[in-house]
Structure 1
Amino acid sequence: MSELELDKLDRQILNALQENNLTSADRLSETIGLSASAIQRRAKRLRKEKIILQDISVVDPKRVGQMATFIVEASLERENAQVVSNFKRRMMAAPEVQQCYYVTGDSDFILIVTARDIEEYEEVVQRLMFQDGAVRKFRTSVVLSRVKTGLAVAIDEGD
């Protein structure tokens, strides 16, 4: 996939929308120096070109009863395309899995998982790890506190 040419204004729009995707085009036009309609056209193009993948709200897990967060390293028995594809599909379908990364190194996957408590996490582990014959081993770290969370990508606005 080739990189779309982004000018300084596109980069400013992306940075502003990553900070708050509900910022109105009128507000952005004041800070960026483009008309609201030009901002809307550019944002629409950035979405069409899949540079902006989603407009989401970040929810505080604890405020909705998800009191525990776990980082899980999972290794598969064998690493063939079908096994990997099946594991990815299962992780994408699991609502407890916030993030899933296919990685190099000692593990095949790194997962970020939330649960109400350790008992609920144990149920998740039973369903996602023990019932999958392709999972050779997994290791869990319990998150003590969130220092920084987010999905913003650092975008240099250039000159």
Structure 2
Amino acid sequence: MEQEFLDATDLRLLELLQDDASRHNQALAALAHVSPPTSLRRIKRLREAGVIEREVAILNPERLATVTGHGLTALVEITLERQGAEHLDAFETHVVPDPAVQQCYRVSPGPDFMLVVHTRDMPAYLALAQRLFTASANVRNVKAFFSVKRAKFDPRLPLVASAGTPSTHE
């Protein structure tokens, strides 16, 4: 699906889903000012086109801290020794499946990758570093920054409602 096939109604539905994907179709349709069948049909089309990748629950780590502990979040810069496409692909293939890796980005300029990782504590981070970075002979440099406070976390993508006008949240 090309972006030009996304109209203002599609964008409004996407914006509403980003705010709260648990809304029932009736409420979603009412907020988007469309009929429930139209809402269902459009959302189905957006899923099939891959615009809606998946729907998940976003958990509050502070509320879970009594059960899971606060954990340790690190932003990790990785520089590889060799940067050929096959080496970059191999590193991604190596780190992406690890459940502690929440996000993985190829970046430029600077390091080759930025990872967001979450572990139980510092010993668990050390085990992760040994498993993912030390074991790989192609990793030249690892620089980790440890989070002391999460000031903002918002997975929503900014959408443009129409003609360059920024969208508004409910």
Aligned residues: 159
Contact 1:91 1:97 in 2 (8 A): yes
Report the more deviating stretch, 58-67 or 115-124: 58-67
Residue 158 (1) aligns with residue 162 (2): yes
Determine the C-alpha separation between the residues in 1 that align with 2:94 and 2:46.
30
Determine the C-alpha separation between the residues in 2 that align with 1:4 and 1:22.
27
Aligned positions of 1:36-115 closer than 5 A? 36-62=36-62, 63=64, 64-65=68-69, 67-115=71-119
Query: What's 2:167 paired with?
Result: none
Could you tell me how far 1:61 is from its partner in structure 2? 3.7
Change (3 A) 1:10 1:2: closer
Could you tell me how far 1:24 is from its partner in structure 2? 1.2
**RMSD over aligned Cα atoms:** 1.5
Change (3 A) 1:16 1:88: same
Q: Which consecutive residues of structure 2, in runs of 5 or more, have no partner in the other structure?
A: 164-170
Residue identity matched to 1:23: R
Could you tell me how far 1:4 is from its partner in structure 2? 4.4
Report the more deviating stretch, 48-57 or 122-131: 48-57
Residue identity matched to 2:22: L
Residue identity matched to 2:81: E
Determine the C-alpha separation between the residues in 2 that align with 1:110 and 1:157.
31
Select 2:146's aligned residue among 136, 142, 149: 142
Residue identity matched to 1:77: E
Residue identity matched to 1:156: V
Q: Secondary structure at the match of 1:149?
A: coil
Determine the C-alpha separation between the residues in 2 that align with 1:129 and 1:48.
36
Q: Secondary structure at the match of 1:28?
A: helix
Q: Percent identity?
A: 30
Query: What's 1:22 paired with?
Result: 22
TM-score (norm: length of structure 2): 0.88
Q: Secondary structure at the match of 2:133?
A: helix
Could you tell me how far 1:39 is from its partner in structure 2? 0.4
Q: Which consecutive residues of structure 1, in runs of 5 or more, have no partner in the other structure?
A: none
Could you tell me how far 1:105 is from its partner in structure 2? 1.4
Determine the C-alpha separation between the residues in 2 that align with 1:14 and 1:2.
15
Determine the C-alpha separation between the residues in 2 that align with 1:44 and 1:2.
16
TM-score (norm: length of structure 1): 0.94
